[in-house]
Amino acid sequence: MKARHLIYLITAVALFVGCKGKSKVAISDANTITVSVEYTQQYCGGAAPTEEMEEQMNVLQPLANQPIYISKFISPVLYTEEIKVTLDKAGYATFALDTGLYVISFYKLMTPPAPVEEAPKSGNAPKPGNTPETPEQPNGNIGDDGSKEACEMRWKRMTATPFKVVGGKTAYKVAMNKECNPCEEPRP
């Protein structure tokens, strides 16, 4: 008889502790949202796709086990507070995010800050005949690497999908399109 009461007591305590833990998480994370990402993909060259493949490319499918980048939208060329989130096998991710306007991208949108060059110390100033090379003019010729990098960054920003986080809403579904990179040579 005592064993039966002990089993009921252990079950009740386990249930009480489990319920208390879940409610504590829900209360403390008021900014927690769940985002579901689905995507379609464009044909980007290579062997010609069959009709079935073309139909499949137009069907939304979950973006499974992939990272996405979420940035706060300031202007079409300025993003801040970028975070990287990895989606689960069903295309979902749960994380905390304040209300506001954001963009979701397949790619990193913020460039790392440029390294800061130190000013020469007074004792190490260059001699008049040994001046450092003058930097290129801002509107001067940009090499192939610079123009490709600029092209890729513009393309990544243009393909970012905006979404708005509003207070009280906790679930968001975002449909995205993987577009071909116009900065690369077409596939043969």
Confidence of residue 23 (pLDDT cuts 50, 70, 90): very low
Tokens of 130: 């040994």
Residue 51 lies inside a defined structural domain of this protein: yes
Confidence of residue 49 (pLDDT cuts 50, 70, 90): confident
Q: What is the pTM of this model?
A: 0.65
Task: Return the sign of the alpha-carbon dihedral for residues 87, 41, 154, 104.
Answer: negative
**pLDDT reported for residue 66:** 93
Residue 24 lies inside a defined structural domain of this protein: no
* Cα→Cα distances 70→55, 65, 94, Å: 29, 16, 12
Residue 37 lies inside a defined structural domain of this protein: yes
Residue with the bigger pLDDT between 8 and 174: it is 174
Residue with the bigger pLDDT between 23 and 79: it is 79
Nearest CA-CA partner of 160 in 77, 59, 58: 77
Residue 57 lies inside a defined structural domain of this protein: yes
**pLDDT reported for residue 148:** 85
Write out pLDDT tens, residues 89-148.
999 999 999 999 999 999 998 766 555 565 555 555 545 544 444 333 333 333 445 688
**pLDDT reported for residue 44:** 82
Rounded distance, CA 5 to CA 26, Å?
A: 32
Residue 124 lies inside a defined structural domain of this protein: no
**pLDDT reported for residue 60:** 92
Nearest CA-CA partner of 65 in 90, 82, 36: 90
Residue 49 lies inside a defined structural domain of this protein: yes
Rounded distance, CA 93 to CA 27, Å?
A: 19
Q: What is the mean pLDDT of residues 10-15?
A: 54
Which residues make Cβ contacts (< 8 Å) with residue 3, sequence separation at least 6?
Answer: none
Residue 36 lies inside a defined structural domain of this protein: yes
- Count of the separate structural domains present in the chain: 1
Task: Decide if 71 contacts 82 (C-beta within 8 A).
Answer: yes
- Structural domain range at position 53: 30-112+145-180
Torsion of CA 9, 11, 13, 17, to 10 degrees: 180
| Sequence-ordered alpha helix ranges (H) in 29-139 | 51-57
Q: Read off the CATH number of the domain in which 50 is found.
A: 2.60.40.1120
Residue 48 lies inside a defined structural domain of this protein: yes
